[in-house]
Amino acid sequence: MVAGYSAAQVRAAEAPHLAAGEPLMLRAAAALAAVIRAELVAAGRPRGPVLLLVGAGDNGGDALFAGAALAADGVEVLAAPTGPRRHAEGDAAGRVAGVVFLEPDETEPEEVGAIAAGSAVVVDGILGTGTSASPALRGPARELVAAVLASIAGHAGRAGHAGRSERSDRGPGGASARPIVVAVDLPSGIQPDDGTVPDPIVLRADVTVTFGAVKAGMLLEPAAEYAGRLELVDLGLGPELATMVPLVERA
């Protein structure tokens, strides 16, 4: 059985670990980087490029730290922040490692979309569980994802593969007809507790790397259709979660 917990339950389970100074974000980012590396190898494009879609919160920080680790290993990594605010330490780590930043005041969403279509992996690090009350993308973030969706769909259509790609959708040399989409903790725009999707502008993930515990919404329709394969990263929250009743359990 897979247990799904609410965003509030996961935050409560994390709280004593954060209070003790445990580096949960760095652990999460290292695991995220490992999954992305595996996807790059499977796609036959171990050097990328990888495009990070970066929000202002912790999911953006996870993406930036993972991108920094990949860039330090020689992977081409680009980051498209949704606005001027972002995780300061993750931003600094990315710049030191050589991540190329596509600043929103200098780069149009359509440009980011074109880059996404040519990328090996696109990482959705825009929204996290902290936006559970109103999870729909808004403003520049929505425009960015809409442009990425349109560009990916056009690229897949030209390559003869509409919709989501599967592992069989490999072209010459192992290249994919469209980028692999990796979501950070959950796809941006889905409700983490009840699985609703209030707006169709959501980047469907091939893989969701979720931290600490599976969020209940990803086990419920329609959000489950957007989550793809779930990769759970153990952050040591087991003792705390054992005292809680999960919202959902699925075989």
Q: H or E stretch including 182? A: strand 180-184
Domain CATH for 26: 3.40.50.10260
Residue 13 has pLDDT above 90, yes or no: yes
- Distance between CA atoms of residues 116 and 95, nearest Å: 20
Q: What is the pLDDT of residues 88-134, one digit of tens each?
A: 999 999 999 999 999 999 999 999 999 999 999 999 999 988 776 67
Structural domain tally of the chain?
1
- Torsion region of 87: left, alpha or beta (phi above 0 gives left; psi -120 to 50 gives alpha): beta
Domain that holds residue 228: 2-165+174-244
What is the Cα 109 distance to its own chain's centre? 18
Residue 160 has pLDDT above 50, yes or no: no
Q: Is residue 160 part of a domain?
A: yes
Residue 153 has pLDDT above 80, yes or no: yes
Q: Which residue has the higher pLDDT, 171 or 40?
A: 40
pLDDT confidence of residue 169:
44
> What pLDDT band is residue 157 in, cutting at 50, 70 and 90?
low
Rounded mean pLDDT, 35-61:
96
Cβ-contact 133, 106 below 8 angstroms: no
3-state secondary structure of 137: coil
- Distance between CA atoms of residues 78 and 57, nearest Å: 18
User: Pairing relation of β-strands 248-250 and 2-5?
Assistant: antiparallel
Q: What is the 3-state secondary structure (H, E, C) of 196-249?
A: CCCCCCCCCCCEEEEECCEEHHHHCCCCHHHHCEEEEECCCCHHHHCCCCCCEE
3-state secondary structure of 123: strand
pLDDT confidence of residue 39:
97
Q: Is residue 251 part of a domain?
A: no
Rounded mean pLDDT, 236-243:
97
Q: Is residue 94 part of a domain?
A: yes
Q: What is the phi/psi pair of residue 77, to 5°?
A: -125, 130
- Distance between CA atoms of residues 45 and 176, nearest Å: 9
pLDDT confidence of residue 71:
98
Q: Is residue 131 part of a domain?
A: yes
Summary mean pLDDT of the chain: 91
Q: What percent of the chain has pLDDT over 90?
A: 85
pLDDT confidence of residue 133:
64
CA–CA distance from 180 to each of 24, 37, 121 (Å)?
25, 12, 5
pLDDT confidence of residue 212:
96
Q: What is the pLDDT of residues 163-217, one digit of tens each?
A: 343 433 444 334 456 899 999 999 999 999 999 999 999 999 999 999 999 999 9
Q: Is residue 215 part of a domain?
A: yes
Q: Is residue 191 part of a domain?
A: yes
pTM as predicted:
0.91
pLDDT confidence of residue 31:
98
Rounded mean pLDDT, 14-22:
97
pLDDT confidence of residue 129:
86
